[in-house]
A and B are shown apart, each in its own frame.
Chain A
Amino acid sequence: MEEVGLLINGIYLKVPQGYTLLQAAQQLGVDIPTLCYHPELPSEGNCRLCVVEIGEHPRTRLVNSCTYPVEPGLNVQTHSEKVLQARRITLELLLARAPKAKLIQELAAEMGIHESRFKSEDPYELCILCGLCVRTCREIVGVSAISMANRTPGKLVTTPFLEPSDACIGCGSCAFVCPTEVIPYIEKDGKRIIWGREFELVRCNICGNYIAPMAQLEHWAKLTGEPVEHYFVCRDCR
């Protein structure tokens, strides 16, 4: 594969073409804070925490390192004063949006921010709109049961029309990937509740232990082409 040479914090390194600045920095061992980046998911650049400064001195600009591809000879600064200033403001805005989120509080405290100058709309908000859950549902699970709705002031992650969605298979991957643990996911007495929909868990035909919701078994059957009855027996009894 063709390689591209670039400078990160004055250190020259070569990375394969198609890498993003964030991947190149991680390969070098430079720590760039991010909230919405996940190596298994396509980057969208929602959180704006991974900004870096690129270009030569008088004409530098800030770009998202998780979406900007490497260029030959590019000069990147990951912790310059301009970058740190931008990150601090982003964190203050995030802290105003989700003041109770532990992850944001910790990140902000690391940068020396303990309270935000901006007004908080909802003091109990936890969602930071990173979009990891939406991308997980679309790319990893492949059902697209949740999406972003509305424009900025009222933007939220939800199922279509705020109603329990038929597309959801109740796998809980969105709750797993959520960095601020805002998606309620309860499993109790053979019932699983997520996104307002209640899933009855199927019991194994042989041992009687719970396997998964019916919707998920149907999804597996559709993917593999096997009859759905094939999955009514748990993996230990199969």
Chain B
Amino acid sequence: MSARAIFTRPARLAAIVPYLWMVLFFLVPFGFVMKISLSQTAIAQPPYTPAFDLTAGLAAIGDALAALSLDNFRLLISDDLYLLSYLRSLFVAVVSTGILLLIGYPIAYGMARLPRRWQGIAMMLVIVPFWTSFLIRIYAWINILQHDGLLNRVLLALHLVSQPVVWLSTESAMYLGIIYSYLPFMILPLYATLAKMDRALEEAAADLGASPFKVFWLVTFPLSLPGVAAGVLLCFIPIVGEFVIPDLLAGSNALMIGQTLWLEFFTNKDWPVASAAAVFLLVLLLIPLLVYDRLQRRQFEEVK
């Protein structure tokens, strides 16, 4: 037996504890979500008296419907509230991922063009905000966007507007927050592919007479597609289920599915409907999740 083969067996044994942990705390819980999502509203209720308030009017109607139909999934499809919040989540995720790609690509490209010793620093600078709390970064924007916040004061001082503009609780504030929070997730995989790319290919194309746009479109961009795919998935999937950003920056008139789920769970205490919403969301994300899993695994296989 070769030395490598001898090493393999204990390495496999190392999987046992984390394997069991992930089965117990990641896989099994999904079983419970499935189970509760199929059960009736009343079963999970005993410890919690339903607390309806006026702000949850629509969801409360949905609740009554669930009790009638006894079918949380049928409710999800039949009630506009859920369908709309699913569609809205997908729409928001598609739009913001698109903007992220448009903003992130030039930044990643600029990083990859820096001299080697500067690249590490630039990467660090992009990673640091990723380490800084999500919540704090959103709060930082509330500071700036509020009625008498910095942005309005600057705009007023420059006479660009005559009255303070309402920024908070708007669509634009939400998109701004999402783009701000997820930008590092887009830049890093793009940078990783662009930095590895052989610059000679671009030069060859340029020497052979391709215009700069053609060089980019026919050489650079196709070669960076793995990074594009990774960045897009890394942003798209979590944005669909995003809760904090729409909750704090967008108004409460149109909800994303993460908020609906949260509302069902914490405000309406309707665990079955919340679970059904989670299952639905998961099914919606299954294909992008599988593609992402594939990409991840291939990446590590390549390194080896």
Q: Do A and B bind each other?
A: no
